[in-house]
Chains A and B, each alone.
Chain A
Amino acid sequence: MTLSLQPERFSFRSRPIAVPGDLRIEWRVSIIVLMLGYSRAKQASLAKLHILNDAIRASRSEHLLELVVKAKPGRMPWTFRVEPAFGRAVDFVVGDKLAGWTTTADRSALQLTAQGVRLFDALTRDADLLTSEKDVLAKYAKTMTETMVTAVLSAARKAK
């Protein structure tokens, strides 16, 4: 047996990787539109969106929302996570003119545009879509005020 002097070259080809559902743009954009749509005046501060986002991402923190809305503030050491992908999705929402920047309670906030409201209506009309997320958001996005957001933020700060 003779060994070839010129070994065959290896070649690597990148295979597509599995993408978690919450990193899908269509899913994320829709969720943000739902968060805003269920909120009062179709607007919510960025901080509130981050909190809702963390609650939606895993059922783990969903009961924390319950605490935020129902219990006395200060009793919830919730170090919620800020997710970079969420920030990028927010940029898309704004870039696509589904929502625009505004301020509420001295925080930068997003408000749905007419186009965003139209998408929100389409999303809520389709009872087949995003059911569990809608349940959570419909319940908490409306009831969570910016004061509660402040409470969560300061509680998180204290907990550290």
Chain B
Amino acid sequence: MRRAPEPHSRSSLLARLDTPLWRGVLIAAALAVSGAFLLETFYFLRDATLPQWLLALLAIAWGVGGVMLLFTLASYLVEQFPATWKRRLIPILFVGPAVAVVVGYLALPTLRTLIASFYDANGQQFVGLANYVYAFSSREMLISFRNNFFFWLTFGTSFSLILGLIVAVMADRTHPVFEKIVKAIIFMPMAISMVGASVIWKFVYEFRPAGAPQIGLLNALVTAMGGDPTPWLLRQPWNNLFLVFIFVWLQTGFAMVVFSAAIKNVPADILEAGRIDGANEVQVFFHITLPTIKGTVLTVGTTIVLGTLKIFDVVQSMTGGNYGTQVIANVQYTQMFRQFNFGRASAVAIVLLLVVLPIMLYNLRDFSKRTEAF
């Protein structure tokens, strides 16, 4: 009689607490407490004077453990909700962190850049559209627009695509061993960084006055054939094409490899049907192969177009934007890191973003049409 009520009352207390509502409240409290705890340990670790390696280990444990702890508690919390809410909340739980990262590292900086583009060099005085006037009317930017759109986009993209396509088609028809060798050689520049390629090509275009030993490959050839050495990087507007060629040298391999894979996927029976119907090889290529790999060509094309519009490394390391070879991204860099004109740099960055955005959207839309990923 005496002993019976005690376990009963304890279990009833727990039982009363063991409702979804109470559990939710408790877990939410635990969530808040662990958040606060993680914040405190962050400050502790930041100010701690521990050996570097120990600090690194603790920081990793803090990061990984913290994320696991928060995520586990949050998912318990969601579990306590009624089924309809649970269905609504679970996706947020999974996508939320990714969205937060994108907002924090992409959307907010973009917004911040947009705001900075309306302020002066130090970001202190509102100057309205002055930076955009610069971005659309200064000689530097006008030259950049010409170079980016005419030389880089037009020639850079078309040369990369056409050369890549030609090599892919031709290599496909040769002996497999030969095909592998050719593709390996053409693909090799892809392994070189743009700056590395610029170093190589600087030696190709190097100019020494007539009479001096020519250490540049091109001028050595020219003088060997009795010509006068030419300052390739100085001759406007052709010097832009010489820079574009470096980019083409790097990108052709990329286009070729993707095209080659696509060409090998063109159904053999269709090709054969075409040939039986009397089409010659050129007709087969233009009426069967090309239409079949059209999607691939568009994807590769837009990727390269994006590359040409954002081109920076080659110009910065070859000419520094001098001699009429300036491009938009290099103006942005120069304004930001050489001139410290945050306003102008931001305005140029926004202009570059606006230029690139439509192509990116087209790329995504085109991609989603074929794969329904978006």
Q: Do A and B bind each other?
A: no
A residues with CB within 8 A of B:
none
